Structure formats: C-alpha cells, structure tokens
Amino acid sequence: GFQVFECPSDADTTVVKVAIDIAKSKNVTVYSDDTDVLCLLAHHFLHLPALKSIYLSNMTRQKNQARNCYSISEIVSQDKLKTVLPYLLFAHAFTGCDTTSAIHKVGKTTIFRKLENSKALRSIADIFNEEYQTPEQIGAATVIFFEALHSPKYSLPEIRKRKYEDMILSSRSNIDPAILPPSPRAAFYHGLR
C-alpha cells in the first residue's frame, strides 16, 4: 500500500514535490533531518496558501524519546521570521544544498541571521530575485554580497589578506585556506552556479 519514488540523485526536491502534491488534498508528514527540506517546504507553503497542514518530523531521535514534529504553517507564521522568509530560496541556494550546508564556513543559520539584521544584505539579495539579470550582474552581486557578509568596509582581496594574517599571527598549528572568504573570481562563479 506504499507508493515508492526513486530518486537517482538529490531527493530533496522530489520529497518536497510529493509532499506539496499530497498537501493539496490532505495533511502530510515528512520525515527528514535535512535543513534543505525544511527551507523548501516553508517556501512553498508560504506561496501556496490553499495547502492542508504539512508537518516535518525528524528521522533520528534519542532512545526512549519521541520524535520532534513541527508544523510548517506555525513556522512560517512566526513574526520573528517575517524578515527572512522572502530570502529562503536565496539562502538555500547560496549556502549550498546538502545537510552540512556552508560556503566558506558560512552556513544557513549565519546567512539567515545576517539577512535578518542587515537591510544592505537584503537589498543585495533582492537582485537575485529580479527578472532579466545578466550573468555579469549576478556574478557582480555575489562579490558584493560576500564583501558585505564578511566586512562592508573592505574588498574581498583585503578581507582574505586580513583573515590570512590573523591565522598566521594566531597560535593555530593548522592554517586552512578553505575558511577564508572566496577570491573575487570564485565568488563571481559561485553566484552563477
């Protein structure tokens, strides 16, 4: 009596699509520990008001404890999230689409917090939602977003240099270039991705 969907690659979008289709006629519970599934469900629930209730329950749990179950409608109706809800898909795509999403050590939680607290970052992120943007405009906006994300006073090369110098001057035994902000060229191509 179960319907099975095979997902040869990333299952997130398929899980969300099936849940949305079911929620058009009845309540549905999605079992997932993936933040990306939460972001996608919240975005679609926000833009499709005629849906029935959608719940998200975690897959993992502690022994002898019940699973947590969250109502997507309650999540999207929270006043404290009103500022960042329009940026769900932007943050989802910008930080990467996997369980440990982060771009240069900046994950979804950090992006959401910074978007919530910075009108400048939100106005840059708005560029990604505008129609008819050229690849050059998107790439340039990504460089500006990374600069504003790390330090609005400096360019990406200056930010990279300062952070690298901080690593060298610290007592770190391991210098990891992956935690530096991207170069302007890498940031440009990240935006096109």
Whole-number Å distance between alpha carbons of 178 and 11: 27
The share of the chain scoring above pLDDT 90, in percent, equals 29
Output the pLDDT for position 100. Answer: 47
Closest CA to 77 of 58, 111, 101, 53: 53
Q: What is the pTM of this model?
A: 0.74
Contact 29, 52 (CB under 8 A): no
pLDDT > 80? residue 174 = no
Tally of CA atoms within 13 A in the half-sphere of 1 that contains its CB = 0
pLDDT > 50? residue 149 = yes
CA 35 to chain centre: 8
Give burial (CB, 10 Å; 0-12/13-18/19+) of 97: middle
3-state secondary structure of 58: coil
Output the pLDDT for position 102. Answer: 58
Output the pLDDT for position 72. Answer: 92
pLDDT > 80? residue 175 = no
pLDDT > 80? residue 96 = no
